[in-house]
Amino acid sequence: MDGPALITGATSGLGRATAFELARRGHPLVLVVRDLDRGEATAREIREQHPGVVIEVRHGDLSDLTGVHVLADSLLVDGLLPRAVVCNAGLQVVDGVQRTGDGLEMTMATNVVGHVALLAPLLEHLRPGARIVTLGSETHRGGLRAFGFPAARWTGMRTLLDPPAEAPRSSNAGRVRYSTSKLACIALAYEIDRRWRDRGVRAVCFDPGLMPATGLAREYPPAVRAVYAALTPALVRMPGAGSVSESAGNLAWLAGDPAAEGLMGSYVSGRRARKSSPETYRDGIGAEIWETSLVAAGIDPVDA
């Protein structure tokens, strides 16, 4: 693969493990991180394990759209055109509705809009063969396969980015906002693939399964986190769950291995395509996510 693999949220959890795995596979890297010191420390550790790998560390807070524009411009100016973009950074907010400095609901802004703002200026410059990987989750479906996590509730991208004042503030409502953002990540991959496949740029959505050992539950109350930590050894052995290293191996494969080409345009668990929920295939939902995100990011949809 010529050109680096860029990964957002590379300082912890799945993103960090995937960066190591991509380096092991010989890919040069661009680590996009919101804490440069931790990013440089991660890069040092990767170089120790994989001497010779070329790594750039760039600041990127996906919830700060001005910063994302600066990041995208700097990548173009420096000729760092990725052959794979892994849109991994993500968070859950379970203590009420939080807004970014741009006034957008934090979960959807970080997990979706920030990535659209990063991708939009890059896409037309990417070479044929480039891949975009978004991070989905079975939480979008809810129910047993999501370990009881509440399913996504699609109320329209504009409303989701600017919830009304009376929007519920419970932790359950926060989890619904998360699963809804993951639904958007799935439909976003389908949309990017539909728009760019003729130019040889493909997109795919990866479901890593439940990985209880990452930092994703960091905003949960301490008692809930303690129960979760105690259950982790049992949870990782259940169907639909797994270790971070196993998911990172699959994600790095999907982002960079020629053998994964046939999976582009789909929703992938492990190394297999599977159906996502009917809502993710609904006519117009991908375009709504793409275009509303562009507008929220101050990018004219006609230019992207």
Ligand X SMILES: NC(=O)c1ccc[n+]([C@@H]2O[C@H](COP(=O)([O-])OP(=O)(O)OC[C@H]3O[C@@H](n4cnc5c(N)ncnc54)[C@H](OP(=O)(O)O)[C@@H]3O)[C@@H](O)[C@H]2O)c1
Which chain residues interact with ligand X by CB under 6 A?
8-9, 11-15, 34-35, 60-63, 88-91, 110, 135, 137, 208, 210-211, 214-216
* Least separation in angstroms between CB 15 and ligand X: 5
| C-beta of 163 vs 208, nearer to ligand X | 208
* Least separation in angstroms between CB 47 and ligand X: 19
Render the burial of 211-227: b for 16+ CB within 10 Å, e for the rest: bbbbebeebbeeeeeee
CB 293 within 8 A of CB 113: yes
* Least separation in angstroms between CB 45 and ligand X: 14
* Least separation in angstroms between CB 302 and ligand X: 27
Report residue 236 CA to chain centroid gap. Answer: 21
Render the burial of 274-295: b for 16+ CB within 10 Å, e for the rest: eebbebbeeeebbebbbbbbbe
| C-beta of 147 vs 281, nearer to ligand X | 147
β-bridge partners, 31: 7, 57
Separation of alpha carbons 275 and 83, rounded Å: 26
* Least separation in angstroms between CB 244 and ligand X: 7
CB 250 within 8 A of CB 21: no
| C-beta of 269 vs 292, nearer to ligand X | 269
| C-beta of 110 vs 276, nearer to ligand X | 110
| C-beta of 11 vs 266, nearer to ligand X | 11
* Least separation in angstroms between CB 170 and ligand X: 20
Q: Please identify the residue of the shown chain whose CB is closest to the bound ligand X.
A: 13
Residue with tokens 């159906």: 275
55: left (phi over 0), alpha (psi -120 to 50) or beta: beta
* φ, ψ (nearest 5 deg) of residue 202: -115, 155
| C-beta of 89 vs 188, nearer to ligand X | 89
